Structure 1
Amino acid sequence: MKRTQHYGTLEDAVLRTHIELSRAFNKLRAKETATIADQGMTMAQFAILEALYHLGTLRVGQITELILSTPGNITVVIKNLESKGWVRVYPSETDRRIRMVEITEAGQSLIAAHFPEHVRNLAAWYGAALETEELHTLSRLLRKLEKAQ
């Protein structure tokens, strides 16, 4: 379907790019969500476990920023992870108001078992459309766009 309304050369290019970026992200996120659900986790649970697995113990606020979520949602997700025995939550030694989150052995085992498959899935999905050099270019352009905001 072609648009009959035009807003200017730059504006039309921006709209087209934004629509395509959104569609691509939504399709990839749907596939990612489905495969992670098959592993018995939500996207937020997976993202938190992955962050803790790769970065180590983090403050709740750091996790909120890393996975682009809200404090209220993160609190619920962390409580669910803690109830499953995948993370441990404790007060900071320097400031008792700050809550620290640490991945447990069970959480490490879970994410270690599933993360390589996650990477293979992403490589297959992205690799089906883009060459390695194109991926580097896309990454660089997206980082540039992010930093400009």
Structure 2
Amino acid sequence: MVNMNHFSEDQETSLKLFVVLTRAIQAIEKQITQNVKGYGLNLTEFGVLELLYHKGEQPIQKIGQKVLLASSSITYVVDKLEEKHYLTRKACPTDRRVTFAVISDSGKQLMDEIFPQHAAAISEIMGGLSVEEKKTATDLIKKLGLYANSLE
């Protein structure tokens, strides 16, 4: 076991915050994954569908950045969703190198049905905090993320 006595209070608190944030994300993601699995989708498939549902058609090459997925995996996920008839590919009329993913009617129908349930499940999962605490946590975690990004 590491002796924490030689760390400053700031270092010790930062290490603890990192561990607590990581464990919280893992616990939350586990619950969300179980919820989404009930719809016959994995978390990535749901993320792509949710993006297309709320933001409209997207260049396939850009989807990975928006749903935190490696670009090498996007084609596979898009293929799977296309096999399930939840999306289609559409060529860009102005640039042959670009292909868009477009949510299909059956994809829209699925999301119309499951998204309200998903939103309720997220609310339940996040139920350990009051609305005010969620707002405060959101602001603080966003501030932390923006600062970490600025270090690059």
Please report the TM-score for the alignment, with normalisation by the length of structure 2.
0.92
- 2:74 is matched with 74
Shift of 1:131: 0.8
Contact 2:4 2:12 in 1 (8 A): no
Shift of 1:55: 0.4
Aligned letter for 2:47? Answer: A
Is residue 19 of structure 1 aligned with residue 58 of structure 2? no
Stretches of structure 2 lacking an aligned partner (at least 5 in a row): none
- 1:61 is matched with 61
Distance 2:2 2:35 in 1: 35
Could you say if the C-alpha distance between residues 46 and 131 of structure 1 is closer, same or farther in structure 2, counting changes exceeding 3 Å? Answer: same
Aligned letter for 2:34? Answer: A
Contact 2:53 2:108 in 1 (8 A): yes
Aligned partner of residue 94 in structure 1, secondary structure: coil
Shift of 1:105: 0.4
Distance 2:143 2:98 in 1: 33
Shift of 1:63: 1.1
Shift of 1:5: 2.2
Once the two structures are superposed, the pairs formed by residues 64-103 of structure 1 within 5 Å of their partners are: 64-103=64-103
Distance 1:83 1:23 in 2: 35
Could you say if the C-alpha distance between residues 13 and 47 of structure 1 is closer, same or farther in structure 2, counting changes exceeding 3 Å? Answer: same
Stretches of structure 1 lacking an aligned partner (at least 5 in a row): none
Please report the TM-score for the alignment, with normalisation by the length of structure 1.
0.94
Once the two structures are superposed, the pairs formed by residues 127-146 of structure 1 within 5 Å of their partners are: 127=127, 129-146=128-145
Aligned letter for 1:4? Answer: N
Shift of 1:3: 6.1
Could you say if the C-alpha distance between residues 80 and 139 of structure 1 is closer, same or farther in structure 2, counting changes exceeding 3 Å? Answer: same
Shift of 1:62: 2.3
Distance 1:113 1:18 in 2: 36
Shift of 1:88: 0.6
- 1:10 is matched with 10
Shift of 1:10: 1.0
Contact 2:45 2:81 in 1 (8 A): yes
Distance 1:41 1:123 in 2: 20
